[in-house]
Amino acid sequence: MCGRYSLFAPRENLAARFELMDFEEIEWVERYNIAPSQNVLAIVRSDAGNKMGMLKWGLVPSWAKDPKIGYKMINARAETIDQKPSFRNLLKRRRCVIPADGFYEWKKVGTNKIPYRFQLKSKESFGFAGLWDRWENNGEIIHSCTIITTEANAVLKGVHDRMPVILTKESEKVWLDRSISDEYYLKKILISFPAEEMEAYSVNPLVNSSKNDNKEVLNSL
């Protein structure tokens, strides 16, 4: 799964990396320990280009009776994404990219869990493959998202058996292209990111609490 990540790259770097047209309008602060149920930056494709907005992390399907379902839907499995009622239609028409520059997983060692940070060797920002939806009831509106996961690559496997789908720059363009709706074609890009381009290290246990959203969580043990 993917339950925590970071995004602290400068605004101008993100705008250039993701070819954003309206990032100046977004209230953006550096984040080191982003957690489910929080509002996160996400990118969709509009007629004018890539557009950034805020979505609540934890998908609330448009048909849900209770928005609390979002707490159980922070991730979607790539292997079954075209089969689940919550995701199938979104795969065709409501795809998004969720920017990040690293994410965390925990390795079980005896009775302890040791947090690890995973990032690109280049230290560049990257995009998770995501889905979004709009829920409305009695005047309340929630725009929410989920991060898609797949089988872990060699860098992750010693820590966790799943990893978020990190899109290449080329597959990002496909994922955001609203003219594409072929499920088989879209699923082909939901694969593990090349292990040789990633690195990992153990980090400060402060990351265990989402209240600790500062640079200290990045410190290696």
Which among 109, 114, 139, 104 is positioned nearest to 7, based on CA atoms? 104
What are the residue numbers of the active site? Answer: 2, 105
Q: Which residues contact 175 (CB under 8 A, 6 or more apart)?
A: 95, 97, 129, 167, 186, 189
Q: How many CA atoms lie within 13 A of 170 on its CB side?
A: 3
Q: Which residues contact 92 (CB under 8 A, 6 or more apart)?
A: 181, 183
Would you tell me how many other CB atoms lie within 10 Å of the CB of residue 79?
Answer: 12
Rounded to whole angstroms, how far apart are CA atoms 123 and 154?
19
Contact 53, 144 (CB under 8 A): no
How many residues are present in the chain? Answer: 221
DSSP three-state, residue 44: strand
